[in-house]
Chain A
Amino acid sequence: MTADEYLNDVLASQALGDDSDEVKALQKHRAEVEKLIRDTFKDTALIIRYAGSRAKGTMNKESYDLDIISYVSSGDNTAGETLEDIYDNHKQALAKKYYVEPKGSALRLKGCDPDNLGVDFHIDVVPGRFTDETNTDAYLYQSGSDKKRLKTNLDVHLDHVRDSGLIDAIRLAKLWKVRNGLPIRTFVLELAVIKLLEDKKKKSLSAQMEHFWTELRDNSASLTVEDPANPNGNDLSKCLDDNLKSQLAAAAKRTLEQIDSSGWEAVFGKTEKQEKAARVEILRRAASVATPSRPWLPEA
């Protein structure tokens, strides 16, 4: 098996199809969340959409969140006068059914019933307000930040990732982040992958990943990323500080050494396909020395 075949198997084992139990559970939650919000803000023309990895096509089974935006139209005050009001009112609406944890611009939903108390549903609701009638740019409230208002554009973010031609590399980088416990925001990691692999799109997936890690190892100190929806207004430098850069460089160095000494499996482990093949091989060996006994059923 080549490195690229292996990496494609890793990605396949991490895929979440529309008919998977995980996605069905998320869709059920999304329907509940949307109903909860719409029932609360009956007079508000809300735009509620998927955002994040679900919309970008970068979901991995091992670690996934569902981001849902809930934006009000520009000039519409029915869900709250200020951005903070909209954020707080959404929080109150969602608190009818969930334990809600503020997380930057998002509201993270957790279970509050006795049978699911504290269970993280991996759902973030992001309230906001469009900046004008075009319903493109939006303002978000940022809790816990000096700068309370953040301008953003969901479609620009989605297009930036979806049109990057680097979805597979992004998914592997996300898996690498999770496996190495790296505290980098997923959005920032996606931007870093796109920037570092901008001129490597025609390379093989394994070559892309090796280049990505080599750049992180050797040049992370000078790495910067910018928000494509708001390059001047959204300063992401705090999300990629020197401490994080050092951690990324160290993890990238370790990963490249693992590939060099033990191959790609040392990075992402055996794939489901490989594990299944190994299990079947052991079962066959067990069968080869077992008593050959054929089952029967008395009634046809």
Chain B
Amino acid sequence: MTWQRNDPALYEKEKAEVEAHFPDLHFVIENDLVYVRGSFAVMFEGKVLDRYSVELQLARNHPAGLPVVRETGGRIPRHIDRHILAADGTACVMLPDERWKLWPVGSPLMKYLTGALHSFFLAQTMVEEGQDWPFGQWAHGARGIFQFYRELLKTSDLRVMTAYLDYLAAKKVKGHWPCPCRNGKKLRDCHFDQITELREKISRKDAERSLAALKAAGTSAIDMNEAKPAAAISKS
């Protein structure tokens, strides 16, 4: 059963909030999927800076899953450098592993629209104006995952990174397991709190996917310029 039938009250709440804030966006149900379609306004200080024609296909398990976003006006080139997949025009708004920072599970759709999605289209407008990506961008594929975990874990050691991801993807972690920081200590005596906190933030599914991508890419995921310096893992 899809989320809108499972929780009609949530559907009505999301719909009412979004359509009140974005009067040019409309909820539509087709083939048991919820779409949000229309003109997305990039706003600042009450003024519309730009507009994009969009379609958001909400996940069947919304709000647990991320929506699939498409810019339907054909304005943004379907090019990897613009973070749009050529095959189906899907916009890659964020790295799923980073979701807890941008749209934590359980947050209303409005938070996604006014946060990450707004920033994505604002950035697209700036790039169109010849500016750099205002918030930066992750490298494509495994290299982007590597960059993210390098910043998060403050290490560029791929073995440490994959060891962490192993623990994030595991059903359970036990205190007597060796710590992924590879200092020889048991987890409970080292980075247990950090692992526990990250397991609350990053879903097992996302960790599994990132682990698989990093393992498949191997050392090619490491951009040598990105890889240095290899800072020691702090106990945070």
Contacts and interface: CB of A to CB of B under 8 A. Distances in A.
User: Per DSSP, are chain B's interface residues mostly helix, strand or loop, or mixed?
Assistant: mixed
Interface in A97-147: none
A7 B204 CA distance: 61
A289 B46 CA distance: 13
Contacts of B126: 280, 283-284, 287
B131 A295 contact: no
Contact of A292 (B85, B92, B119): B119
Given A286-B122, A287-B122, A293 B129 contact: no
B94 A296 contact: yes
Nearest to A299: B141
Interface string B183-199: 00000000000000000
Nearest to A300: B141
Contacts of A259: none
Nearest to B135: A292
B35 interface: no
Contacts of A24: none
Contacts of A276: 129
B144 A297 contact: yes
A182 interface: no
Q: How extensive is the interface on chain A, given as a class?
A: 20 to 34
Q: Which of A282, A289, A299 has the most CB atoms of chain B within a 10 A radius of its CB?
A: A299
A286 B137 contact: no
Contacts of A294: 94-95, 98, 133, 135-138
B158 interface: no
B119 A290 contact: yes
Contacts of B120: 293, 295
Interface in B163-199: none
B49 interface: yes
B93 interface: yes
Nearest to A280: B129
B135 A287 contact: yes
A297 B120 CA distance: 13
B94 A293 contact: yes
Contact of B144 (A284, A286, A293, A296): A296
Contact of B92 (A285, A290, A296): A296
A276 B125 CA distance: 12
B125 A293 contact: no
Interface string B134-166: 111111111110000000000000000000000
B141 A298 contact: yes
A279 B44 CA distance: 12
Given A280-B129, A296-B92, A297-B85, A290 B122 contact: yes
A299 B143 CA distance: 10
B83 interface: yes
Q: Top 3 nearest A-B pairs by Cβ distance?
A: A300-B141, A286-B44, A295-B83
